[in-house]
Every structure is written in C-alpha cells, then in structure tokens.
Amino acid sequence: MFDRRAFFQDTIGRLLHKAVQRAEQRVAPKRWFRPPGAAPEVAFVAACTRCGDCIDVCPVHAILKTPASGGGFAAGTPYIDPTVRACIACADMPCAAACETGALTVPENVNGRGIWADVRMGVLELDPQRCITFQGAACGVCARACPIGEAALALDERGQPVLKPEACVGCGVCVTACVTSPSSLKLRLV
C-alpha cells in the first residue's frame, strides 16, 4: 500500500511540475539574459524588487535594467546583453550575493565543482562560416578570453574552436571578444 501511494505521489508531483513549467513558458517566456544565479523567469520577476543592488556591484557594469517600454512585467528587472558587455563569471558572484530577495542566489559549491558548475545563462553557438579559423586564419581569441577555460571552450589541433556546452555558463565573454563583426559566436536563451 505504501509503495503504491509513494508511486502515485511521485508521478502526480512530476506531472504537476511539468504542467507548471509549460504554463510558465506560455505565460512568461524568458526574453532576457538574466544575471547568474537567477531563479526561473516567473519566480525571478515576482521576487525581484528592481532595487538595482546587483547592477551596482557588477565590476564590469554588465548588468542593465530592463526598459519600461517593451519590458512588460519584467520592466526594471536586471538583464545582461552579451553582445554589448558580457558577464565575466566573477569567482564570488557579487551580483547574486547582493540580492536580498532570492531573485538571484549564489549556487552551492556541490562536491567542490564550484559555484558556476550548474549556471547556464545562455547557450553558445558557433557559426563556422563566419569564424576565420575555418578559412585557414589563426586566431583563438575566443578560447583565450573564456573565463571558464578549456572546460567550456577549447581549440582543436587545427586551432578551431570547440564548444563544450556541459561546462559553458553562457557568460558571453567569447562573443564580445570575437574578432569578426558580427561575432562568429552568439548566445541564445536557455
């Protein structure tokens, strides 16, 4: 009897969780790159008081305030535009530490993997048609600029970028460092 009850509770719990996720995606789709440690979009928008504390402590001023026009419910919340100024993946994540509401939280350092281990602000994509290393030119600026290092972005034996999504945090440093215009690298929302 107990195993059956636990089975039904677990099954119903997972179904409800998926239903809530789908409803959130329809009601409030993520349209902004959020600072590291951001709660899921609906929870983030609800918890954020628009105080600007995270903006004030960002050492590179990568965090901006969502404009009132076009921001909807998210107006005034912090976001990052990785094409303009990237997050530099600070070791101590001061933006999340400054948030008193839980909209941003510093992730736990689980098993010594570091606070950035499970952070995904965006998903990195490479356009080989634009990247000069695929046309025979030497470069590697993106890999040298990556604050996460070879675990996230490395160069192969030909000197071409190799993306490693399992470690990439989606900070955008490589996007802004890229020498091509527009950048050969781009981030898309998670």
Render pLDDT for 45-72 as a digit per residue (tens, 0 to 9): 999 999 999 999 999 999 999 988 866 7
CA distance 16 to 110: 27
* Longest Cα–Cα distance in the chain: 67
Listed as ranges, residues in the chain with pLDDT below 70 are 1-2, 16-17, 19-30, 70-71
What is the pLDDT at residue 25? Answer: 57
The pTM of the full predicted model, rounded to 2 decimals, is: 0.81
Distances (CA, A) of 45 to 31, 98, 118: 12, 16, 21
Q: Which residues contact 2 (CB under 8 A, 6 or more apart)?
A: none
CA distance 187 to 59: 21
Give me 65's structure tokens: 């305030």
Give me 69's structure tokens: 């026009």
Residue 38 phi, psi dihedral angles, 5° rounding: -70, 140
